Each structure stands twice: as C-alpha cells, then as structure tokens.
C-alpha cells in the first residue's frame, strides 16, 4: 500500500499560528514583543528570497522584524560591527546572519560573534557544544522542525533505527543529536559510507540531507519507514526549464515508505516556522518567562 505525502506546509502553518498566539500572550501579559534581526550581505538571489520570506513570516506572527543589508563588498569588520550592535539591542532577541557570506568575510568568526543567547540559527560553537552534550541549547531550525514533525507523527521514537544521510554542521550532525536524545539508534552516513543502500534499508527513520538530486531510490527504503527529505536541488528539465527535487526519489519512495516529505512543500516551510519558534524561545529566556503549555 502506498504511503502518505507528509504535508510540511500545513504542519508549518499550525506551528506559525501557535507562535502568533504566544506572541499575543507575551505582548498582553508581559509587554514583550519578540524581535528578530536578519543580516544580509550582498545580493545573492536565493538569499534575498529567503530573507524576504523570513521578514514576512516574522511580521505576520506579530513580532518585530529588522532587516540589515550590507554591500557585497562589506568588510569583515563592518559585518562584525553590525552583529555587536544587535547583541546590545534589547529589542532584538534573535540574530540571523544569512549564509553564505562573501569570500572576504570569515563565516565562523561572524557566527561566533553573535551572542549565543540570540543565536536563533543554533550555529554558534557554544550552542553546538551544548547540543552535543545534551544541555538546553538553541537548535538549528531545520533539524528542530524535522524532530518535532517526527514526534508528532510517530509518537515515542525510542529504540527506532534512524539513519541520517549527510554530516553537515547545519543539518546532519544536529539532526543526529536530536534523534539520539529521543533514544533512537542513530547512524550518520555520508558520501564515503560503504553499502549506502544497505545502511539506508535498516532505517525506520531516514533523513536525507546530502544535496544530491533523487539519489535515494525506492529499493533503499525499508517498507513502512518514515522518510524526511531535507534536500533542495534545482535540476534542468526539458525546454530549458528547471524544477526543484529532493535527495529522495519521491515517487519510488512513497510506494514503499509509511510517509515521505515532498520537495517542495515538505521540510522547507518548517525551517522558517522554527526560526520563529527559536526567536520566541530566546525572548522568553532573556526575560525569564515560562510560556503556558496550552497556548
């Protein structure tokens, strides 16, 4: 029997509605308006689209949104100066510097200049360290979205075999940490993994984050597995057009799996929703506020 297409768009919408209710509560009960600043250096077209979407979603949730744009020629010192000002700004609870940065700017230095308490991307070395040892930490938005979706869909994940294909700092490694924290048996596979199809076939939960179009085929998937496709790859199709595909061959996967996230409309919309979640979390921590569970 064919599996289900997992509607990430609808899931993200429900998360955003909850965030909007939390923002209302913070304003009415604590006179607190969570604020997110996004820093964009240069004019990369994909980054401009992401930043615009983040801005729109932040305002729609009722939060303060600040967008800071610097020329592609900006020096590292100029970028660091913007970050320092935002660290000091008490109306800003979350800071995101859009990546990639131009080559003259050291990404690691910029990320690590962000106040870890405002690091809503969860990329600061303090947050990655805290993630690694299981302390409370800002988690990167995409893995946070994926684990929340998996828990909602499957309930208790303990004892399940989880395979994460991809070892990036942004998705693969934090995803593995979150799955381990849920007591999954976790394998991190990557481009050098031997017998990758066999490794994938052991997965009850398969998370694909390698950036290779439709690499994961139907016969790599265990019947009844849940498949989360984090890949976003633009491929050429006939007539000089392009289309977006994931790292998983969706049509083949859905015939075997319990559920598969599509591309687009799967993991993508969840990332922005969880950026808003992280901003509210940062604002609450900064003011020592506990949100009621039932909002």
CB atoms within 10 A of CB 213: 17
CA distance 165 to 207: 6
What is the rounded distance in angstroms from the CA atom of residue 282 to the CA atom of residue 203?
34
Q: Does the annotation mark 54 as catalytic?
A: yes
Over the range 156-169, which residues count as b (16 or more CB within 10 Å of their CB) and which as e? ebeebbbbbbbbbe
Provide the minimum distance between the beta carbon of 131 and ligand GUN in the complex, in angstroms, as a whole number.
15
CA distance 79 to 89: 16
Q: Toward ligand GUN, which CB reaches closer, 95 or 256?
A: 95
Active site residue 121: yes
Nearer to ligand GUN, 113 or 157 (CB): 113
What counts of helices (H) and strands (E) characterise the chain?
10, 11
Active-site residue identified among 115, 119, 121, 247: 121
Smaller CB distance to ligand GUN: residue 142 or 249? Answer: 142
3-state secondary structure of 190: coil
Site string for ligand GUN, 125-164 (x = CB under 6 A): ----------------x-----------------------
Strand partners of residue 72 = none
Confirm whether 98 is a catalytic residue. yes
* Residues constituting the chain: 295
Q: Which one of 22, 98, 201, 222 is the catalytic residue?
A: 98
- Selected catalytic residue, list 54, 118, 173, 201: 54
Site string for ligand GUN, 82-121 (x = CB under 6 A): --------------xxxx---------------------x
Total residues at the site for ligand GUN (CB under 6 A)? 6
In angstroms, give the least distance from the CB of 87 to ligand GUN: 16
What is the β-pairing status of strands 94-97 and 35-41?
parallel
Chain residues binding ligand GUN by CB under 6 A are: 96-99, 121, 141
Active site residues: 54, 98, 121
């Amino acid at each position: 029997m064919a599996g289900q297409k997992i509607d990430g768009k609808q899931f993200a919408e429900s998360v955003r509605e909850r965030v909007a209710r939390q923002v209302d509560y913070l304003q009415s009960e604590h006179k607190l308006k969570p604020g997110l600043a996004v820093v964009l250096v240069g004019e990369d077209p994909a980054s401009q689209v992401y930043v615009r979407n983040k801005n729109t979603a932040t305002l729609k949730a009722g939060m303060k949104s600040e967008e800071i744009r610097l020329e592609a020629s900006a020096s590292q010192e100029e970028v660091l100066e913007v970050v320092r000002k935002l660290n000091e700004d008490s109306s800003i609870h979350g800071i995101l510097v859009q990546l990639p940065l131009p080559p003259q700017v050291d990404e690691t230095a910029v990320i690590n200049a962000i106040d870890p308490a405002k690091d809503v991307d969860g990329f600061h070395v303090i947050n990655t360290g805290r993630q690694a040892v299981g302390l409370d930490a800002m988690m990167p938005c995409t893995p946070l979205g994926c684990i929340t979706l998996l828990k909602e869909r499957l309930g208790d994940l303990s004892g399940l075999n989880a395979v994460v294909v991809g070892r990036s700092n942004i998705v693969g490694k934090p995803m593995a940490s979150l799955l381990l924290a849920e007591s999954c048996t976790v394998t991190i596979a990557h481009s050098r993994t031997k017998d990758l199809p066999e490794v994938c076939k052991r997965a009850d939960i398969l998370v694909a984050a390698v950036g290779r179009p439709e690499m994961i085929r139907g016969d790599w998937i265990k019947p009844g597995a849940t498949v989360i496709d984090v890949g976003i790859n633009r491929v050429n199709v006939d007539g000089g057009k392009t289309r977006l595909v994931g790292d998983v061959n969706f049509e083949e996967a859905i015939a075997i799996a319990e559920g598969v996230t599509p591309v687009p409309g799967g993991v993508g919309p969840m990332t922005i929703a969880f950026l808003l979640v992280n901003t509210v979390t940062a604002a609450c921590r900064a003011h020592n506020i506990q949100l009621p569970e039932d909002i």
